[in-house]
Copies of this chain bind each other. A is one copy, B any other.
Amino acid sequence: MINGPEKRMLAGFIAARRLKASRRREDILDAFLATERHVTADELHAAIRSRHPGIGLATVYRTLKLLASCGLARQVTLGGGPARFEHAFRHRHHDHLICRVCGRVVEFSDPEIELRQEAAAAARGFSMEEHSLEIRGVCGACRAKAGRSRSGG
């Protein structure tokens, strides 16, 4: 991912706004792209730190906000905890299933739900701009585990 479209996208955004390219921003983008979904600023900071010890948490916050502005990251708040960031470039909008037991997050998307949301908003005079749908419950693996320990112990 040394020269993907994400880098060009960030570079373009920076040029358009007359900001400045920097090594830090590349480091943070690299780490963000390398990591799996839904990192917090703190997690990303820790991950980058192993390779680039000098980096400050504030810079990670500032850069994540920048990545969100240019459409590379999307900020989500899964269940009230700290803000999390997921890849947004070439990733369609989706909703989240969150396992209450193991914390696993599964993404899904249902066109019919999307349509109905638009309709519900329109019926009440709203124009919809964005939405977030979060379903909390227990995933299959955790239910199986719970079933086993109930019957087995």
Interface residues of A (CB under 8 A from B): 77, 80, 83, 95, 97, 99-100, 106, 108, 110, 112-113, 116-117, 120-121, 124-141, 143
Contact = CB atoms under 8 A, between A and B. Distances in A.
A153 to B, nearest CB: 21
- Which 6 residue pairs across A and B have the least CB separation, nearest first? A125-B140, A131-B135, A128-B137, A129-B137, A126-B137, A133-B133
Given A132-B134, A133-B132, A134-B132, A143 B120 contact: no
B131 A136 contact: yes
A115 to B, nearest CB: 10
Contact of A97 (B77, B110, B121, B139): B121
Contact of A128 (B83, B126, B135): B135
27 contacts: A80-B83, A97-B120, A97-B121, A100-B129, A106-B124, A112-B112, A113-B113, A113-B117, A116-B116, A117-B133, A117-B135, A120-B135, A124-B139, A124-B140, A125-B140, A125-B143, A126-B135, A126-B138, A126-B139, A126-B140, A127-B138, A128-B136, A129-B136, A129-B137, A130-B137, A131-B134, A131-B136
